[in-house]
Each structure stands twice: as C-alpha cells, then as structure tokens.
Chains A and B, each alone.
Chain A
Amino acid sequence: MSAIIQIDRVSKAYGGVAANKDIVMSVASGGITGLIGPNGSGKTTLFNSIVGYHPIDAGSIQFRGREISKLSVQKIARLGLLRTFQQTRIYRAMNGVQNMLISLPHRKMSMANSFTRHSRAEHERAARLLEFVGLYEKRWLRAGSLSFGQQKLLEFAMALMNEPAALLLDEPTAGINPTLINGLIARLKSVNREFGITLFIIEHNMRVIMNLADTIYCLAHGEMLAHGTPDEIQNNPFVIDAYLGAQ
C-alpha cells in the first residue's frame, strides 16, 4: 500500500518544550492507522501539525505527494484531509440536518454556488448519514442540546458528509457509552472498507485500537517509540515500559 500521508523528520516545540521531535511516519492509503502514547506524548500536537493548525519548526508533511506543511487549515481541508476534535465541535445553535448540510465538501463550491439552496439529493445524503450514525430520530434537535456522545457521532457524520480522502480522528470513543463503542468500531470499519476513507486514529482505549488498526505508531515524550502491527506493539517492551512507567 502506498502512503497517503508521509511525515518526515517533523519537529514542533512550544517554547522550550519539544512536543514532537524528528517524527517519521507514514499513513497507508486505504488503511486504518493508529496513534497511541501516554498523556502528553505529543499525539494531538502531531495531528494539529498535519492539518495546518500551527506551523511546524522543521520537517515535511506530504498528503498524496503534495507538500502541505505551509498550507492553511482551510486549504488542507479542501484537499480532502479532515480532522475531528478531541473536544467535540459542532455548530451548537443549528439542528442536526443543518450541521450536515453545511459540511458538504467546499472544495467544489464557488461563491455563485453559495447563493443556491441545498438540493434534494444533498438532503437525502444528510439523512442517510445521520441514519448511519444512529441520529436520524434526533435530526431536528438543536445540536447543542444533544448529549456529548451524540455530538461526537454527529461530528463523525459531518466529517463523512465532507467526502474526505483521509480522516484524522482524535479519540473517537472518549466519552461514549461503552455499549455504543462496539457499534462505533463497526461503523469505523465499514467507513474504511465501503467508502474507502483512510483513517488515522488517536485512541486511548487499547481494546478499541488493537481491534481496529492494521498499523500502530506509539509516541512517548514527543518521540516515535515504536511502530508495527497491533501484536508487535502489544509485545514491545518499550511500549509496555512507556505505559507502565517502568523506566
């Protein structure tokens, strides 16, 4: 499998704190890649660097062979590389359907286009995706009045509405009811398989990530500690040390 995201010697420091040091990794096109690491190991910083949230200090980030480390957040999103937030972000005063419709891909939309209304096909697509994440019944409610878990599902559906090539998910199962997690795993797998969306996932829940990912990277103290298949990672002594703090 070829790499859709190629990260080469990326460093990012906040003042004197090196959040990412010489990170080298790649996300395989069409696969599910996991990113784990203890709290404060630099996972979210790496995500933010990829989507252009802040400038990186050194290194290069390529998406589909194109250098994106100097591009703005919006431009990167329009290229088809999308992220969801750890602290879920949805449009609170708008209802579920409106949240979905405004998430249609903007890479194709011109200014003239914006003065039209949403088509029936777009409404139907929004309804289908809301059904897919189990929010169809709640679609007319104000998004801000949904529970945290439901907002998380809505954000996921909004990301799918945008038809990304690759989706970066920051802790998709955090705050979600354990009985719903299995359903979410199944949905993530089907999104990857059926829609062909590459997934790159930060996850703390080991059961979830071992179940989902085909390749896992582990960060510790801002450096890439190990990578491999879920089995290799589970048996890697460095990874066990990093998590149990035996060093």
Chain B
Amino acid sequence: MKKLTRYKRLAFHLPLLVAILLAPFFLPEFRTQLATLWLMIVLALTWDMTGGQMGYNSLGNILFYGTGMYVAAVITIGIAHDVGEYTSAFGDGVYEFTEAQYFIGMAAGLLGAGIFCALCALLVGSITFGLRGPYFAIGTLGVAIAVGELVSNWEWVGGGQGISLPVYPGDLEVGKVIFYFLFAATGTSLFVLLNWLYQTRFGAAINAIRDDEEKAEAMGLHTLRYKLATWSIAAFFVGIAGGISAFQLIHFEPLETAYQTINLGIFMVVCVLLGGKGTLWGPVVGAVLFHLFKEITWNYLLGWQWVALGALIVVTVVYFQDGIMGGLMRRKPPWFGVRAEGGEALPPTSVHESA
C-alpha cells in the first residue's frame, strides 16, 4: 500500500520536474514570463507560511523583496567598485565588471540578500509579533512603506533614482534561461522544504498558533520563537527572490520596483487567497492562475486590467474564501487524509474558520 502511494507520487512529481526543466526551451518567447511565474510562486508560498499556516497576515513581506534587491546590488557593486561613487556617477564614468566579478557578485549577493533579510525578519518580528490580527497586517505594511521611503532618500544607494546592476555578460537569451533556473531552483527547494517542514512538530506548532495562540501559550509552547523562525525562513527566500529580480531587471527604483507595496505586495496575498490559505499546493495553484489571469487581462483588456483584477479579488474574497484547495478539501475530505473512523464523516466547514 505504502509502496503504491510512493509510485503514485513519483508518477506525479517526475513529469512535473521534467516540465519545469524543459519549459524555458520549449517556450523560448515566454522565458521572462515563466521566471516571473516562479517569483509569484515563491512569494505566495512564503506569504502562506505566516498568513495561512500560522494565522499572521503580513502585508509587509515586500519589505524583504526590496531589501533583497538592494543587498544583492550593493554586494555585487561593492566587490568591484566604491558603491557611493558608482551611484553618484549617474552613468558618467565607465564602470566595468569582469565576468568573474559578475558571477561572484551574484552568488555572494543572493546569499547575502537571503541572510540579511532573515535577520531583518528577526528584528522587525520581535517588535511586530506583539501585534495580532489586523494590527499585525497594518503594522507590517507600515514598516514596509517606511523602509521604502527611507531607502528612496538614501543617496549612497542611489536615492529615488534607484540603482543599476551590470548587464548579464554574454548572450542575453542564455541570461534569461539562467534567471529562470535561479527562480525555479529557489521555488522548488522552498516547496520541498515546506513539504517536509509542515509535517514536523514545527509545522504542528505554527498550526496551533493559528488555531488558538492563547491556548498554545497556556500549553507552554515557545510561541514567539516559532513565529520568528517561520517569518525568518520566509524572509530568507523572499530576499533571494528579490536578489534574482535585481539582476534580471538590471535597473530598479526604490518605490516603484523594490518596495512596491501595492503591486507585488498585494498580488502575493491574492495568489494565496485564490489557491487556498494554509495548504501546501494552494499558493502554487493560486500563483499560476493569478499570473495567467494577470497576463491575459494586461494583454487583452488593457485599460480595464485593474478593474478586472479588482473584480477577481472581490469574487474570491466574497464567494471562495477557502480558495481552490480549501474548497476541494471541503468537498473531498478523504483526498486530504481527513478520516472519520466509527463516527459520521463531518466535512470541515471551513479550513481556517478560527483564523
């Protein structure tokens, strides 16, 4: 029986892995699109770690995206040049980067972005995790907006003008494939990590915090420790994703691109709501559908795209609160291991009733 499920899993995961590996070669004109799709998946999965699994709806996760971009840029530039001189030159001087400097900068920059953002989450979290419910959402949003404003006034990193990274040294199409695989590797490793993490005691603890934090405290759980660890793992991956975006976009501005609270900052929440909060696959499914919807409306409904997006959000929030995976879970509980031995099988009324 166990062997059979293992084969079934393999039969599902293997083609998926092949599709992930081949996608950029079979759809060459969509390479950047596919890379952006992976970015959405990473952002949705990390948002769901706190929002869905732990019951802490952050509106400020974009903070780690923007910070990741800047950290990766500063590290990469700093390896070859003086950052202050580089940003104040506005393209006057010629700043060369060797191929080695580019790739070493990229590796160190992405890793540095992840680590720096994880530390930021510990610092910000130790203050904001005193807030609960909507106060946490607004508190984190406030931090993200404030940091964005501060960075846009910080001349050393380019101020409101933003900052530019060197262009990929070599064939730009190869560069697109590399960015795709960087995002895909980040997303896939995040998914594998979460698949394991949600089955450990750690996963049970953050679910307990979501269902009833006061009870969890009364039972002696180290609630703050779990909350900080969860957000900091999420921030690590968002930071790396931000770093990759920085290299992919080459030039970025602080408010429009890096700390874009109203675009990406909200999109990641919509992806999760659409796919199903608090489920492993929900954020992935939601990100894929959302990205398709967004690209289709942006191409064919230009002028009305924001209206369509707003309508999608309203319909999801009003009619499909459990999202796609949540709705499936309610209709087909056995698919998700909800059993009822000896008792009547009561389907769950809502996946996150108490959230």
Chain A contact residues, CB within 8 Å of chain B: 51, 72-74, 77-78, 82-83, 85, 89-95, 98, 101-107, 109, 111, 113-118, 137-142, 144-145, 158, 162
Residue B219 lies at the interface, judged by CB distance under 8 Å to chain A: yes
Closest chain-A Cβ to B109's Cβ sits at a distance in Å of 28
Query: Taking the complex as formed, is B211 at the interface, i.e. its CB lies under 8 A from any CB of chain A?
Result: yes
Contact (A74, B211) CB under 8 Å given A93-B354, A109-B201: no
List residues of chain B with CB within 8 A of the CB of A117: 199-201
The answer to whether B214 and A89 have CB atoms under 8 Å apart is yes
The stretch that binds A, out of B3-11, B130-138, B334-342, is B334-342
Structural contact, A115 and B201, CB atoms closer than 8 A: yes
> Would A90 and B200 count as touching, CB distance under 8 A?
no
A118 to chain B, nearest CB (A): 7
Report Cα–Cα, A106/B218, bound state, in Å. 11
Contact A114 B202 (CB under 8 A): yes
Known A109-B201, A117-B200: A144·B353 in contact at CB below 8 Å: yes
B234: shortest Cβ distance to chain A, in Å? 16
* Residues of chain A contacted by B353 (CB below 8 angstroms): 92-93, 144
* Top 6 A-B pairs, shortest CB-CB distance: A77-B220, A137-B342, A91-B211, A140-B339, A89-B215, A78-B220
Q: Are A51 and B346 in contact (CB under 8 A)?
A: no
B343 near A137 (CB under 8 angstroms)?
A: yes
A91 near B208: Cβ-Cβ < 8 Å: yes
The segment from B72-80, B140-148, B178-186, B221-229 that touches chain A is: B221-229
- Known contacts A89-B214, A117-B200; is-contact A102 B349 (Cβ 8 Å): no
B338 & A89 in contact (Cβ 8 Å cutoff): no
Are B200 and A91 neighbours in the complex by a CB distance under 8 Å?
Answer: no
A93 touches B340 (CB 8 A): no
A102 to chain B: closest CB distance in Å?
4
Other than A77-B218, A102-B216, give 8 A-B pairs with Cβ distance below 8 A: A91-B215, A93-B351, A93-B354, A94-B204, A102-B207, A107-B220, A111-B229, A138-B343
Per-residue interface assignment for chain B, residues 289 to 328, with 1 indicating a CB less than 8 Å from any chain A CB and 0 otherwise: 0000000000000000000000000000000000000000
Q: Which residues of A contact B346 (CB under 8 A)?
A: 141-142, 145
Q: A92-B212, A93-B211, A144-B354 are in contact. Are A106 and B343 (CB under 8 A)?
A: no
A-B contact pairs, 11 of them (CB 8 A): A74-B221, A77-B218, A82-B219, A91-B211, A93-B348, A93-B351, A94-B207, A98-B204, A106-B222, A111-B225, A114-B205
Q: Which of B218, B340, B349 contacts A51 (CB 8 A)?
A: B218
